Amino acid sequence: MPKAEENKLGAYLMDRRTKLDPAAFGFSTKRRRTPGLRREEVAQRANVSPTWYTWLEQGRGGAPSPDVLNRISRALMLTDIEHEHLFLLALGRPPEARYKTVQGITPRLQRVLDTLEVSPAFIRTATWDIVAWNRAASVVLGDYDNLEPSQRNILRLIFSNSRVRSAQPDWESVARFVVAAFRVETARAGATENVTALVDELSRSSPEFARMWRSNEVRDHGEGTKKLRHPIAGILTMEHSAFAVDGRPDLTLVIYNPATPEDIKRVKSLLKSSKIRK
């Protein structure tokens, strides 16, 4: 590791250490010349040698292992973004992705969805569970409020929901794309083990899914244009885009924009006549 990078790492560790309250961790606050935890106290909490930790702060410790960095991160009570920064300073890369179950979204993020009046939009997790949506999505894509949370998974909808399947004029192409993009995103998020049960379930219930999953295709979600067959509005042409949610790497915002003035008119008509309220 270059000397400059070691110094940056040491300065960062020292800065984080001096911002912690010793009393909160059961350490005595007597006879302290500087604020925060002592080096040996961080070493004790991280279960590493005090001498080695001192060298690390001084830029003499060499490159620590990911396991040691994780323990130091916990010892210093680092946030997720601070934890990532620690890895970037020490190893030049972010920590290995470990998927966390999403509990929900903030009201502010829901308001972002709701401002997209004629553009169906939803938030999905890295395991492709839909956790939030706007009224346009309910009217055009499906009434997610009437589905159990476990049924709001995009793979389940594509392979197990007859209404969603019938809405795809080219179902085979859409299904192959979804499976390939799902494979990439779950792996990227470190969520492969989290979706094992879902993959097994769909492989048993859908020979089509089993065949597509065995093909091992990979795709990025990205953006594109697709057609939807709506039971009332007929064929709608939509431009879709996917965006990472800032500060929430576990979430993706997906937006479907009506592609033509006629498509906008049809979506507005659906919204006007629909009894669905979001």
Chain segment 263-275, per-residue pLDDT in tens: 999 999 999 988 7
Tell me, yes or no, whether 111 and 227 share the same domain. yes
Taking the C-alpha atoms of residue 260 and residue 269, their distance in angstroms, rounded to an integer, is 14
Tell me what the mean pLDDT of segment 102-114 comes to: 88
* pLDDT at residue 111 tops 80: yes
The residue from 40, 59, 91 where one domain ends is: 91
* pLDDT at residue 154 tops 60: yes
* pLDDT at residue 218 tops 70: yes
Overall domain count for the chain: 2
Tell me, yes or no, whether 216 and 254 share the same domain. yes
Tell me what the mean pLDDT of segment 184-204 comes to: 90
The residue from 36, 64, 91 where one domain ends is: 91
Q: Does the residue 76 lie in any domain?
A: yes
Tell me, yes or no, whether 82 and 177 share the same domain. no
Tell me, yes or no, whether 139 and 232 share the same domain. yes
The residue from 63, 91, 119 where one domain ends is: 91
Q: Does the residue 40 lie in any domain?
A: yes
Cβ-based neighbours of 67, under 8 Å, separated by 6 or more: none
Tell me what the mean pLDDT of segment 228-252 comes to: 90
Tell me what the mean pLDDT of segment 88-103 comes to: 79
Tell me what the mean pLDDT of segment 35-55 comes to: 93
> What local confidence, expressed as pLDDT, does residue 261 receive?
97
> What local confidence, expressed as pLDDT, does residue 277 receive?
63
> What local confidence, expressed as pLDDT, does residue 77 receive?
93
Q: Phi and psi of 224, rounded to 5°?
A: 175, -170
Taking the C-alpha atoms of residue 73 and residue 86, their distance in angstroms, rounded to an integer, is 8
Tell me, yes or no, whether 80 and 198 share the same domain. no
Tell me, yes or no, whether 86 and 111 share the same domain. no
Tell me, yes or no, whether 78 and 139 share the same domain. no
Q: Does the residue 150 lie in any domain?
A: yes
- Which own/partner contact pairs does 5-12 have at CB distance under 8 Å and 24+ positions apart? 5/89, 5/92, 6/59, 6/60, 6/61, 7/59, 8/89, 9/56, 9/59, 9/86, 9/89, 9/90, 10/56, 10/57, 10/58, 10/59, 12/85, 12/86, 12/89
Which region among 48-52, 89-93, 260-264 has the lowest average model confidence (pLDDT)?
89-93
Tell me, yes or no, whether 84 and 114 share the same domain. no
Which region among 54-58, 100-104, 189-193 has the lowest average model confidence (pLDDT)?
100-104
Higher pLDDT, 164 or 275: 164
Q: Does the residue 102 lie in any domain?
A: no
What is the rounded end-to-end Cα distance, in angstroms, of the chain? Answer: 53
> What local confidence, expressed as pLDDT, does residue 6 receive?
45
Taking the C-alpha atoms of residue 83 and residue 277, their distance in angstroms, rounded to an integer, is 41
> What local confidence, expressed as pLDDT, does residue 96 receive?
77
Tell me what the mean pLDDT of segment 211-238 comes to: 91
Length of the chain, in residues: 278
Tell me, yes or no, whether 34 and 76 share the same domain. yes
The burial class, CB within 10 Å (0-12 / 13-18 / 19+), for 221 is buried
> What local confidence, expressed as pLDDT, does residue 265 receive?
96
Name the percent of the chain lying above pLDDT 70.
95
* pLDDT at residue 142 tops 70: yes
> What local confidence, expressed as pLDDT, does residue 5 receive?
45
- CB of 39 closer than 8 Å to CB of 50: yes
The CATH number assigned to the domain holding 261 equals 3.30.450.180
The CATH number assigned to the domain holding 81 equals 1.10.260.40
Q: Does the residue 96 lie in any domain?
A: no
Tell me, yes or no, whether 221 and 252 share the same domain. yes
Tell me, yes or no, whether 116 and 23 share the same domain. no
Confidence of residue 139 (pLDDT cuts 50, 70, 90): very high
* pLDDT at residue 95 tops 70: yes
* pLDDT at residue 276 tops 70: no
Q: Does the residue 100 lie in any domain?
A: no
Our CA dihedral for 99, 211, 144, 238, rounded to 10 degrees, sits at 100
Helices vs. strands in the chain: H and E counts, helices first: 13, 5
Q: ∠ CA 226-144-217 to the nearest 5 degrees?
A: 45
Looking at every residue in the chain, the average pLDDT score rounds to 90
Confidence of residue 30 (pLDDT cuts 50, 70, 90): confident
Q: Does the residue 101 lie in any domain?
A: no
Q: Does the residue 97 lie in any domain?
A: no
> What local confidence, expressed as pLDDT, does residue 278 receive?
58
Tokens describing residue 113:
């969805």
Tell me, yes or no, whether 157 and 262 share the same domain. yes
Cβ-based neighbours of 147, under 8 Å, separated by 6 or more: none
Higher pLDDT, 67 or 99: 67
Structural domain including 35 reads 3-91
Task: Please state, in angstroms and as integers, the Cα–Cα distance from residue 101 to each residue in 124, 126, 169, following that order.
Answer: 12, 9, 33
Taking the C-alpha atoms of residue 115 and residue 128, their distance in angstroms, rounded to an integer, is 23
